[in-house]
Structure 1
Amino acid sequence: MLLAIPFCKAKDTTDIPPGFNANTWTKTVKHDGWRCQFRKGLGLLTAHARTTEITQWLFQRDWFAELQRRLPDGTVIDAELYCEDEPASSVPTYLRDASQPLRIAPFALPMYAGHRLIREAAIINHDRLQTLWSAYPFFEAPINLDVSYENDTVEGFVFKERAYEGWWKQKKVWSYDFIVVGKVPGNGKYTGQLGAIEIGLLASDGSIRKFGQCSGMDDAMRLADPFVVGETVVEVEYNGQLANGGLRHPRFTRLRPDKPKEDCRCE
């Protein structure tokens, strides 16, 4: 039986990780999707997200059948399942509908044909994945180069010195000032308090263009609720903009009483 290999966890960083060497480390794209392990053992291929098995939703796809047929026993591939131009929250919907295009981007090979490769140099493991990709054209190449942060599905980058340990994850972060254009009541532990704020910017014709909701306020601020709809300006951090104009993972940073709402405009 193939033993499960725990998911390698990456440390978060906003900068180049300490000790990074472009000649011995790899830097690969981190898509905004679901982390997934494919495990082949006893002639069967299974797929696992962090907390559940998802084989039943993938076996109908042609590329899954090809992996089942071609991969040798004792192989584990770590990959990202994602939807083109959609956030990670769209993956469950695409996962359950075999007619929807679900992309797969492999980024680590911790075991191959019964050989554990966890401590293998990342550049060697990357080359193994490149070779595997050339044999399985339905895979994406494990990209080892800078990709523009403007790419909607790029969430950040993963820096690796070893194949499956000591990873660092660098996420792109932007901040912008928005007008509070609405409020959402809290529920659950926040019942009776502020749940989230709706944010927007002034368009060229004077109308408000909404950019969705954000939270991230502490409990004291939720209770005090200092936000005045149509007047209060807030700074919001986010991890990129989606194809539909929405923000990826927006969160409240601070109030901006020094900034007039007239300055909060769409660029």
Structure 2
Amino acid sequence: MRLVLAISFFFSLVPFSGAQSLAPSLQRAQSYDDSQTIDIADYWISEKLDGVRGYWDGKQLLTRSGRNIPAPAWFTAAFPKDTVLDGELWIARESFDQVSGIIRTQQANDDDWKKVQYHIFDLPKHGGNLDQRVLAIRKLVAKNSCPWLKAVKQFKVQSETELHQYLQQLVNDGGEGLMLHKGSATYQTQRTNDLLKLKPHQDAEAVVIGHAPGKGKYTGMLGALIVQLPDGRQLKLGSGFSDAQRKYPPTLGSTVTYQYTGLTATGLPRFPRFLRIREEQ
């Protein structure tokens, strides 16, 4: 059983090999913290789903890097052919590895895909502000016969206290965090302060440039990943790995996501911890 699990995990680390298209122009979020001055009532709030981002261009599902997601034909058959969708392929909370493995499999398995839902959180080509787009998403899903096509639940809160209370309850229930999206904002194909992510921990991405060997019980396995940050500095990630991940670590050149809590005096992430391989590798 351990061998089967290890082999299964190894194949989940294989770089995603779907056909490459041009990367879609996507809106990206900034991180939110209490030092920012915003009127919470102006923002729509939604759960940050822990899945794989999927961009529907009217014909196919793409990752954010532009690779084709090999969903079975029946999965997208009822998707609108005249509307571009931005959303999340999702199964359940704390199930990222499962959905990531499914979308990496080139020979789509119907039983696996029956577990997956596509949650729409935006309409990139709509042209209106978010208040208008939220209504348009709800109408689109309401008239569509596809049961796995969902509208991400968008709601309002009136204060930061209410926001953090909701976040704490969500995290207690296994959720990852919240997204805050300004109602008056148009869809912007860049990183923007009109879209904010709020999580108990901050996260960032880095490129794997080395493997430090393990010691003691991890002899012969991974001790730590050596990663390069966007500014060129290096960092070691030594925690957050399962035993299977230490046996079959992320490959050199792959991009990983890590969590951290604030910055040191030199500006490096404090208490960095491996989270996952970025899904579109």
Helix, strand or coil: the match of 2:154? coil
- Residues 59 and 18 (structure 1 numbering): CA distance in 2 closer, same or farther, change over 3 Å? farther
Instruction: State how far apart, in whole Å, the 2-side matches of 1:93 and 1:131 are.
Output: 31
Helix, strand or coil: the match of 2:102? helix
Instruction: State how far apart, in whole Å, the 2-side matches of 1:143 and 1:31 are.
Output: 11
Contact 1:182/1:197, CA 8 A, preserved across alignment:
no
Give the structure 2 partner of residue 38 of structure 1: 56
Contact 2:50/2:95, CA 8 A, preserved across alignment:
yes
TM-score, normalised via structure 1 length: 0.56
Which amino acid in the other structure matches residue 72 of structure 2?
A: F
| CA deviation after TM superposition for structure 1 residue 151, in Å | 3.4
1:157 is matched with which residue: 150, 169, 178?
A: 178
- Between 1 and 2, higher relative CO (CA 8 Å, sep ≥ 6) is seen in 2
Residues 68-87 of structure 1 aligned to structure 2 (within 5 Å)? 71-73=80-82, 75-87=83-95
Which amino acid in the other structure matches residue 76 of structure 2?
A: F
| CA deviation after TM superposition for structure 1 residue 86, in Å | 3.7
Pair 1:139-2:162 in alignment = no
- Residues 12 and 134 (structure 1 numbering): CA distance in 2 closer, same or farther, change over 3 Å? same
Contact 2:86/2:122, CA 8 A, preserved across alignment:
yes
Q: Quick check: which has more Rg, 1 or 2?
A: 1
Which ranges of structure 2 fall in alignment gaps of 5 or more residues? 1-21, 156-165, 189-193, 203-215, 229-234, 247-256, 261-269, 277-281
Instruction: State how far apart, in whole Å, the 2-side matches of 1:216 and 1:25 are.
Output: 25
Helix, strand or coil: the match of 1:172? coil
Residues 1-267 of structure 1 aligned to structure 2 (within 5 Å)? 6-15=25-34, 18-22=37-41, 24-40=42-58, 45-55=59-69, 57-60=70-73, 62-67=74-79, 71-73=80-82, 75-95=83-103, 96=105, 97-100=109-112, 101-111=115-125, 116-117=126-127, 120-136=128-144, 137-145=147-155, 146=166, 148-152=170-174, 154-161=175-182, 162-165=185-188, 166-173=194-201, 183=218, 184-186=222-224, 196-197=238-239, 249=275
Which ranges of structure 1 fall in alignment gaps of 5 or more residues? 175-180, 201-209, 218-234, 239-247, 251-267
| CA deviation after TM superposition for structure 1 residue 65, in Å | 0.8
Once the two structures are superposed, residues 27-78 of structure 1 have per-residue CA deviations (whole angstroms, 9 ceiling, x without a partner) of: 12210111111011xxxx11111113224x1133x341111xxx242x2110
Give the structure 1 partner of residue 3 of structure 2: none
Structure number with the higher helix fraction is 2
Contact 2:50/2:93, CA 8 A, preserved across alignment:
no
Contact 1:83/1:94, CA 8 A, preserved across alignment:
no
RMSD: 4.0
Percent of aligned positions that are identical: 16
Number of matched pairs: 187
Structure number with the higher strand fraction is 1
